[in-house]
Structure 1
Amino acid sequence: MRPSLILVAALTGTALGALAGRAKAEDASWGCQVLLCAASQNPSWRGVAYCVPPMTKLIAAMKEPGFSWPICHEAKAGKPGRENYEDCPAGTTVGYSSQGDGGWRGEPDQCIKTVDVCRSPIERNAHTRQSGMTIERSFGNGHDGCIQQVATPRPRRADPYFFDIPNDQGVKERFWFNLDH
């Protein structure tokens, strides 16, 4: 059995055991229902009939003023986190495509790499066209502007929300999920 299925089964048992012997998952608190459904990986929560009502309720509640995320205290997972973007590839750093007034930076939606573009302009131009890179700025450090920062769009996560759920040894495992699909 896959480790994630074991974890979900353990969480179900923990949540249900804490409910003084009740045997139905439907009797779990809303926070535990959301946690169990969000942790469902294959299929995702949308493919589990039991999960559609509590997750639909969650999505509707998130639009209301004063929304507070339902917590499953028995699982010790807390509120979920959210990361909209994947990590940048090795050799690049996170960058920002826009900067507003007062030094405010927009979303960290770029991956930036500093390159020496004078080594092979033909190779650079071909690579720039193929990958959609845009050159942001040049530095004149004795190479007449050969050192440039190349930006690529940072990939968005398909599943931007996550729960860090402790397993039976207390080690947290991350479960990614999406509320849009």
Structure 2
Amino acid sequence: MRQRLILAAIVAGLAFTPSATPVMAEDASWGCQVLLCAASQNPSWHGVSYCVPPMTKLIAAMKEPGFSWPICHEAKAGKPGHETYEDCPSGTTVGSSSETRNGWSSEPDQCIKTVDVCRSPGQRASDTDQSSAVIRRSFGDRGDSCIQQIATPRPRRPDPYYFDIPNEQGVKQRFWFNLNH
């Protein structure tokens, strides 16, 4: 319900711009069309026929050199943010894989859990349900240690882009979206 109020406020703001004729959502600037469509949650912009053309235009424009994100100045939302990964589950911390791309380290894409494998005699780290985990051993002076770090892939967000749109009290609300066709 709150999302609808924010969207209604944006459309109302557009309607009160000085003009001799009524303003329709279709007449909004491209930046405002993108913002309205990106903020659509149920259904997402993919399921709103009005939203497909401006969002498809955005996706195509993003591939062009010199792309600049279209802004809806009336909504005071600015450019969107982007976060590829979800937060790591409780009990884990964010870490990077040992791989780098072109000599630069990549965005932290692992969730790391430090465990003491000596607490449960007879149970090895491979006995736990960590079939896809990478285990990094911490070696002491003697070459052995009970502390191991278990790395699991960090969950990816299905909707990695977001707009922070201020509501009527000026409090920003986050709207997540994706740009997949």
For 1:92, the equivalent position in structure 2 comes to 92
For 2:107, the equivalent position in structure 1 comes to 107
SS, match of residue 50 in structure 1: coil
Aligned residue-pair number = 179
Mark the CA change 1:88 to 1:19 in structure 2 (over 3 Å): closer, same or farther: farther
For 2:134, the equivalent position in structure 1 comes to 134
Query: 134-143 or 8-17, which moves further after superposition?
Result: 134-143
For 1:24, the equivalent position in structure 2 comes to 24
Query: 90-99 or 145-154, which moves further after superposition?
Result: 90-99
For 2:168, the equivalent position in structure 1 comes to 168
State the 1:180 CA deviation. Answer: 0.4
CA RMSD for the aligned pairs? 2.3
TM-score where L is the length of structure 2: 0.89
Q: Does 1:73 align with 2:73?
A: yes
Mark the CA change 1:158 to 1:101 in structure 2 (over 3 Å): closer, same or farther: closer
Equivalent pairs: percent with the same residue?
68
For 1:4, the equivalent position in structure 2 comes to 3
State the 1:138 CA deviation. Answer: 1.8
- Give the whole-Å Cα distance in 2 for the aligned partners of 1:118 and 1:143: 15
- The structure that is helix-richer by fraction is 1
Mark the CA change 1:34 to 1:102 in structure 2 (over 3 Å): closer, same or farther: closer
The unaligned stretches of length 5 or more in structure 1 are none
Mark the CA change 1:103 to 1:147 in structure 2 (over 3 Å): closer, same or farther: farther
State the 1:123 CA deviation. Answer: 6.7
Runs of 4+ deviating beyond 4 Å: none
The unaligned stretches of length 5 or more in structure 2 are none
Answer yes or no: is the 8 Å Cα contact 2:14–2:74 preserved in 1: yes
- Give the whole-Å Cα distance in 1 for the aligned partners of 2:49 and 2:18: 22
Mark the CA change 1:105 to 1:12 in structure 2 (over 3 Å): closer, same or farther: same
State the 1:101 CA deviation. Answer: 8.6
Q: Does 1:116 align with 2:116?
A: yes
State the 1:136 CA deviation. Answer: 1.9
Answer yes or no: is the 8 Å Cα contact 2:112–2:152 preserved in 1: yes
